[in-house]
Amino acid sequence: MNRHDYSYCFLRYRQDPEAGEFANIGVALWSPDNRFLGFEGSKRFSRLMHFFGNLDKDGYRLLVAHVERRFDALAEKLTQDSLLPDHPADIKEIAFQVVPQDDGALVWSPARGGVTEDPNAELGRLFQRYIGVHYEAPEKSHRDDGEVFRSVYRKAFASEALAMRIQEHEIVAPLASHTFKHAWENGVWNVYETLSFDLLDADSIEKKAHTWFGRSVHLAQSPDQPKIHFLLGKPELASHAKAYGKAKDILSSESRVSLIEEDEAASFAEALKAQVLAA
């Protein structure tokens, strides 16, 4: 397989620039060979609360969501400009377009580099090794939720035409709440969540489906009356096909849930753009 050079850097949060203390909250990766640009950030703040004490939780989540949207837009632009001979030298050149070098709460680490066969998977590994590991043990998977979103569904939301309409939105119900990174309103809130079922353990597939079914049942009781769209990642292992089928049956038994599969990604993107722009 072809191996690609890449560079990456961490996005760091610091409460007090004078103190110099920081925590890594995201990682950006750029591979010029195939014009791959990716960013993965964490909106979880328990570790930051431990480090810094007081924290504007809503402000922090909005800050990370803004960075994610900016990287998505730049990734789409770099893909569209793939025929141009010039490209950014390394990730820092791109990163400073999103978060400038100043005295704010967000700063970039020095850039590092490496070689990989799969820049998208490498981004996920870097995030889990240096950031995700501090929060919880990951599911044992071939592709996690972030990888499925970046490789399959990201383009559907990266269009400049949708940038002003697609936003982060928190659904709050009496017994549950959840912040969806991608949402829009046309009388009801349409919210989107990527769920990878490309897991190593078949039992984990059913367990994950039951977890999200229960969450959906509670979220459906919100005054927002959300329409919940799950963007699915199918298992790589053929032996997991039965478990995946059962997972889809479990999720779709909630009336306010719709399922989108990987082979429907292109038609989903076209339909989403038409629906949002017509609203």
Block means of pLDDT (10 residues each) for the chain, 279 residues, are 88 77 89 89 74 75 86 82 66 93 86 91 88 64 86 87 85 90 92 94 90 93 95 93 95 95 95 90
Q: What angle do CA 175, 176, 181 make, to 5 degrees?
A: 165
Are 193 and 257 part of one and the same domain? yes
Are 85 and 188 part of one and the same domain? no
Are 181 and 101 part of one and the same domain? no
| pTM recorded for the entire structure | 0.62
Whole-angstrom CA distances from 266 to 6, 52, 73, 98 are: 28, 43, 18, 28
Residue 228 to residue 216: CA distance in whole angstroms = 8
Are 106 and 162 part of one and the same domain? no
Residue 57 to residue 99: CA distance in whole angstroms = 19
Are 55 and 132 part of one and the same domain? yes
Is there a domain that residue 48 lies in? yes
Are 114 and 227 part of one and the same domain? no
Are 246 and 272 part of one and the same domain? yes
Whole-angstrom CA distances from 4 to 116, 176, 183, 256 are: 5, 43, 34, 42
> What is the number of structural domains in the chain?
2
pLDDT at position 182, please? 93
Is there a domain that residue 175 lies in? yes
Are 166 and 204 part of one and the same domain? yes
Tell me the residue range of the domain where 21 lies: 4-138
CA 194 to chain centre: 8
- Rounded to 5 degrees, what are φ and ψ at 91? -65, -30
Whole-angstrom CA distances from 103 to 11, 15, 23, 110, 160 are: 14, 11, 16, 16, 29
Question: For residues 120 and 147, is the Cβ–Cβ distance under 8 A?
Answer: yes
In this structure, the chain runs to a length of 279
Burial of 142 (0-12, 13-18, 19+ CB in 10 A): middle
CATH number at residue 183: 3.40.1350
